[in-house]
């Protein structure tokens, strides 16, 4: 199942992708695996054909086993992230560190603190020159500044929480 904003799910349906579930910022919905809430993300959003991609969003996922994951998506640091921490924090936060188009490493450290993450996986970096980052240096900075664990994944690798 594809869970995304309404515009992307509608576009995918027009491309033949079935079983989409459209949502929007601030909305939440219970699925068989748990509950998904769409969070604010500040970024551009366009579809492959150049049409409007709708509101960019992050996802706060509460799994039935009690695990909480925050996928920030492409976003800048926002003060709204504090609301996630105030609600109890997350077991894992996936945060962009690429800078230039999203938050960079320093802002990602602040975001990890805002959402009270127990662990962070850095995302959206090193795919092309303007967003080249040293993920190991970010991991060390995160540990030093906030005593938060960080797992740096190689492309194609997996992580079990």
User: What are 142-152's pLDDT values in tens digits?
Assistant: 999 999 999 99
Q: Please give the pLDDT value at position 40.
A: 96
Question: 94 with 118: CB under 8 angstroms?
Answer: no
User: Structural domain tally of the chain?
Assistant: 1
> What's the CATH number where 114 sits?
3.60.15.10
pTM above 0.75, yes or no: yes
Q: Please give the pLDDT value at position 110.
A: 99
Query: Is 70 within the bounds of a domain?
Result: yes
Mention every residue, 6+ apart, whose C-beta is less than 8 A from residue 88: 68, 116
Q: Please give the pLDDT value at position 1.
A: 94
Query: Is 66 within the bounds of a domain?
Result: yes
Q: Which residues of 111-130 are buried (b: 16+ CB within 10 A; e: fewer)?
A: bbbbbbbebbbbbbbeeeee
Residues of the chain short of pLDDT 70, as ranges, are: none
Q: Which residues pair with 40 in a beta bridge?
A: 57
Query: Is 58 within the bounds of a domain?
Result: yes
What the block records as the tokens of 140 is 């060390």
Q: Please give the pLDDT value at position 8.
A: 97
**Which ranges of the chain does DSSP label H, i.e. alpha helix?**
6-14, 81-86, 105-114, 135-146
Question: 34 with 46: CB under 8 angstroms?
Answer: no
User: What are the pLDDT digits (tens) for 33-53?
Assistant: 999 999 999 999 999 999 999
* Residue-range definition of the domain harbouring residue 25: 2-150
């Amino acid at each position: 199942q594809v869970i995304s904003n309404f515009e992307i799910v509608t576009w995918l349906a027009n491309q033949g992708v079935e079983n989409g579930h459209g949502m929007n910022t601030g909305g939440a919905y219970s699925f068989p695996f748990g509950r998904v809430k769409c969070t604010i993300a500040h970024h551009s959003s366009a579809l492959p054909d150049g049409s409007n991609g709708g509101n960019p969003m992050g996802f706060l996922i509460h799994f039935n086993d009690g695990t909480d994951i925050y996928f920030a998506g492409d976003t800048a640091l926002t003060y709204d992230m504090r609301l996630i921490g105030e609600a109890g924090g997350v077991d894992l936060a996936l945060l962009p560190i690429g800078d230039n188009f999203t938050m960079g490493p320093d802002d990602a450290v602040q975001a990890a603190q805002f959402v009270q993450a127990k662990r962070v996986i850095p995302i959206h970096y090193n795919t092309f020159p303007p967003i080249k980052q040293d993920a190991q240096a970010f991991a060390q900075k995160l540990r030093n500044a906030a005593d938060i664990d960080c797992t740096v994944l190689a492309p194609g690798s997996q992580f079990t929480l």
